[in-house]
Amino acid sequence: MRVSALSPSNSAGGLTILLLLLDFIAPAATVKHENFKTCSQSGFCRRNRAFADHALAPESNWVSPYEIKENTLLLQNGILTAEILKTVPGRTEKVVLPLNINFQKNGAVRVTIDELKRTKGDIVLRGESKARKERYNEAERWALVPGWDVRDDKVVYDNQKGQITLTFGPELKYKAIITVYPFNVKFERDGETHVVLNDRGLMNVEHWRAQPPEPEEGKEKSPEDLDGGWDETFGGNTDTKPRGPEAVAMDISFPGYEYVFGIPSHATSLSLKTTRGGEGAYEEPYRLFNADVFEYIVDSPMTLYGSIPFMQAHRKGSSVGVLWLNAAETWVDVVKEKKTKTDTKTHWVSEAGQLDVWVFLGPNPSTLYKTYGELTGFTKMPPTFAIAYHQCRWNYVSEDDVRDVDRKLDKHNIPYDVIWLDIEYSDNKRYFLFDKLAFKHPESMMKNIEKTERKVVLINDPHIKNTNDYHVVEELKSKDLAVKDKSSEIYEGWCWPGSSHWIDTFNPAAIEWWKSLFQLDKFKGTAKNTFFWNDMNEPSVFNGPETTMPKDNLHFGNWEHRDVHNVYGMTFMNATHQALEARDIGKGKTQRSFVLTRAFFAGAQRIGAMWTGDNEAKWEHLQAALPMLLSQGIAGFPFSGADVGGFFGNPSNELLTRWYQSGIWYPFFRAHAHIDSKRREPYVAGDPYTGIIRDAIRLRYTLLPAWYTAFHRASKDGMPIIRPNFVVHPDDEEGFAIDDQTYIGDTGLLVKPVVAEGVDKVDFYLADDEVYYDYWTHKIYQGKGRKDYSAPLDTIPILMRGGHIIPRRDRHRRSSGLMKHDPFTLVLVLNKRGHAMGFFYHDDGESFDYKQGAYINRQFMYNGSLKTLTSRDLHKDRAAGAAYKKVAKALQVEKIVIVGASNSLDITALAKGKSKAKALLVEEDDGKIKEWEASLSYTAAADKDHADILVIKNTKLKIGNDWTVYLEQVGGEKDTPKDEL
Ligand code: NOJ
Residue 581 has pLDDT above 90, yes or no: yes
Tell me, what's the pLDDT at 887?
82
The atom number, within ligand 1, closest to the CA of 422 reads 11
How far, in Å, is the centroid of ligand 1 from the Cα of 533? Answer: 10
Pick the closest to residue 290 from 42, 536, 538, 537 (CA basis). 538
How many C-beta neighbours within 10 Å does residue 945 have? 13
Residue 914 has pLDDT above 50, yes or no: no
What separation in angstroms does the CA of 580 have from each of 515, 526, 583, 595, 781?
7, 12, 5, 9, 47
Q: How far apart are CA 563 and CA 136, in angstroms?
A: 6
Q: Which of 614, 644, 670 to mutate to test the pocket of ligand 1 (most atoms within 8 A of CB)?
A: 614
How far, in Å, is the centroid of ligand 1 from the Cα of 684? Answer: 22
Residue with the bigger pLDDT between 8 and 175: it is: 175
Tens digit of pLDDT for each residue in 924-942?
A: 666 677 776 677 888 999 9
The atom number, within ligand 1, closest to the CA of 461 reads 11
Residue with the bigger pLDDT between 963 and 343: it is: 343
How far, in Å, is the centroid of ligand 1 from the Cα of 784? Answer: 43
Pick the closest to residue 115 from 243, 293, 298 (CA basis). 243
Tens digit of pLDDT for each residue in 448-496?
A: 999 999 999 999 999 999 999 999 999 999 999 999 999 999 999 999 9
Residue 161 has pLDDT above 80, yes or no: yes
Alpha helices in 268-315 (DSSP H): none
Residue 286 has pLDDT above 90, yes or no: yes
Tell me, what's the pLDDT at 921?
63
Count the residues in the chain: 981
Tens digit of pLDDT for each residue in 357-383?
A: 999 999 999 999 999 999 999 999 999
Written as one string, the DSSP assignment of 619-667 is HHHHHHHHHHHHHHHHTT---EE--BT-SBS---HHHHHHHHHHHTTSS
Alpha helices in 431-517 (DSSP H): 442-450, 471-478, 508-517
Residue range 668-691: mean pLDDT, rounded: 98
The atom number, within ligand 1, closest to the CA of 394 reads 7
How far, in Å, is the centroid of ligand 1 from the Cα of 668? Answer: 16
Residue 334 has pLDDT above 90, yes or no: yes
Backbone angles phi, psi at 734, to 5 degrees: -60, -30
The atom number, within ligand 1, closest to the CA of 675 reads 7
Tell me, what's the pLDDT at 913?
55
Tell me, what's the pLDDT at 840?
98
Q: 714 and 379 in contact (C-beta within 8 Å)? A: yes
How far, in Å, is the centroid of ligand 1 from the Cα of 496? Answer: 10
Residue range 256-271: mean pLDDT, rounded: 98
Residue 669 has pLDDT above 50, yes or no: yes
Active site positions, annotated: 535, 538, 614
How far, in Å, is the centroid of ligand 1 from the Cα of 320? Answer: 36
The atom number, within ligand 1, closest to the CA of 294 reads 3
Tell me, what's the pLDDT at 742?
98
Tell me, what's the pLDDT at 953?
86
Tell me, what's the pLDDT at 918?
52
Tell me, what's the pLDDT at 20?
52
* 346, β-bridge pairs: 252, 334
Q: How far apart are CA 693 and CA 675, in angstroms?
A: 22
Q: Which of 2, 422, 670 to mutate to test the pocket of ligand 1 (most atoms within 8 A of CB)?
A: 422
Residue 429 has pLDDT above 90, yes or no: yes
Residue type, 109: V
pLDDT tier at 21 (50, 70, 90 boundaries)?
low
Residue 6 has pLDDT above 60, yes or no: no
* 262, β-bridge pairs: 311
Tell me, what's the pLDDT at 977?
33
Tens digit of pLDDT for each residue in 534-563?
A: 999 999 999 999 999 999 999 999 999 999
Phi-psi region of 783 (alpha: psi -120 to 50; beta: other; left: phi over 0): left
How far, in Å, is the centroid of ligand 1 from the Cα of 598? Answer: 9
| Ligand 1 pocket residues where CB is under 6 Å | 394, 422-423, 459, 535, 598, 613-614, 647, 672
The atom number, within ligand 1, closest to the CA of 613 reads 3
Tens digit of pLDDT for each residue in 712-758?
A: 999 999 999 999 999 999 999 999 999 999 999 999 999 999 999 99
Residue 635 has pLDDT above 60, yes or no: yes
Q: 917 and 875 in contact (C-beta within 8 Å)? A: no
How far, in Å, is the centroid of ligand 1 from the Cα of 535? Answer: 7
pLDDT tier at 395 (50, 70, 90 boundaries)?
very high
Q: What single DSSP character describes residue 614? A: S
What separation in angstroms does the CA of 741 have from each of 19, 31, 79, 263?
42, 27, 43, 20
Written as one string, the DSSP assignment of 333-393 is EEEEEESSSEEEEEEEEESSS-EEEEEE--SSHHHHHHHHHHHH-PPP---GGGGSEEE--
Q: 244 and 614 in contact (C-beta within 8 Å)? A: no
* 142, β-bridge pairs: none
The atom number, within ligand 1, closest to the CA of 598 reads 3
The atom number, within ligand 1, closest to the CA of 459 reads 11
Tell me, what's the pLDDT at 879?
83
Q: 135 and 114 in contact (C-beta within 8 Å)? A: yes
Residue identifier of the C-alpha nearest atom 7 of ligand 1: 394
Q: How far apart are CA 763 and CA 19, in angstroms?
A: 47
What separation in angstroms does the CA of 372 have from each of 193, 311, 361, 434?
20, 11, 10, 41
Percent share of the chain, pLDDT over 90? 88
Tell me, what's the pLDDT at 906?
83
pLDDT tier at 8 (50, 70, 90 boundaries)?
very low
Q: Which of 6, 647, 668 to mutate to test the pocket of ligand 1 (most atoms within 8 A of CB)?
A: 647
Q: What single DSSP character describes residue 604? A: G
pLDDT tier at 912 (50, 70, 90 boundaries)?
low
Residue range 114-127: mean pLDDT, rounded: 97
Tens digit of pLDDT for each residue in 209-257?
A: 999 999 899 999 999 999 999 999 999 999 999 999 999 999 999 999 9
Residue range 414-422: mean pLDDT, rounded: 98
Residue 419 has pLDDT above 50, yes or no: yes
Which secondary structure element, helix H or strand E, spans residue 406, and what is its range? helix 399-411
The dotted CATH code for 384-462+508-546+557-723 is 3.20.20.80
Sequence spans of domains, the chain: 41-253, 384-462+508-546+557-723, 823-981
Q: What single DSSP character describes residue 797? A: -
How far, in Å, is the centroid of ligand 1 from the Cα of 14? Answer: 22
Residue 853 has pLDDT above 80, yes or no: yes
Q: Which of 535, 537, 548, 596 to mutate to test the pocket of ligand 1 (most atoms within 8 A of CB)?
A: 535
Tens digit of pLDDT for each residue in 854-894?
A: 999 999 999 999 999 999 999 988 888 888 888 888 899 99
Residue 447 has pLDDT above 50, yes or no: yes
For residue 213, whether the previous peptide bond is cis, meaning omega lies within 30 degrees of 0, is no
* 781, β-bridge pairs: 772
pTM: 0.96
Residue identifier of the C-alpha nearest atom 4 of ligand 1: 614
Degrees, nearest 5: CA angle 68-73-79: 115
Pick the closest to residue 960 from 861, 859, 889, 870 (CA basis). 889
Q: Is the dihedral of CA 562, 567, 573, 579 positive or negative?
A: negative
Q: How far apart are CA 508 and CA 501, in angstroms?
A: 18
pLDDT tier at 846 (50, 70, 90 boundaries)?
very high
* 435, β-bridge pairs: none
Q: What single DSSP character describes residue 451? A: T
What mean pLDDT, rounded, does the chain reach? 93
Residue range 80-109: mean pLDDT, rounded: 97
How far, in Å, is the centroid of ligand 1 from the Cα of 420? Answer: 12
Contacts (Cβ under 8 Å, ≥6 apart) of 91: none
Q: 109 and 103 in contact (C-beta within 8 Å)? A: yes
Percent share of the chain, pLDDT over 70? 93
Residue range 586-592: mean pLDDT, rounded: 95
Q: What count of Cα atoms within 13 Å lies in the side-chain half-sphere of residue 430? A: 17
How far, in Å, is the centroid of ligand 1 from the Cα of 292? Answer: 10
Q: Which of 394, 534, 615 to mutate to test the pocket of ligand 1 (most atoms within 8 A of CB)?
A: 394
Q: How far apart are CA 554 and CA 441, in angstroms?
A: 40
The dotted CATH code for 823-981 is 2.60.40.1180
Tens digit of pLDDT for each residue in 518-528?
A: 999 999 999 99
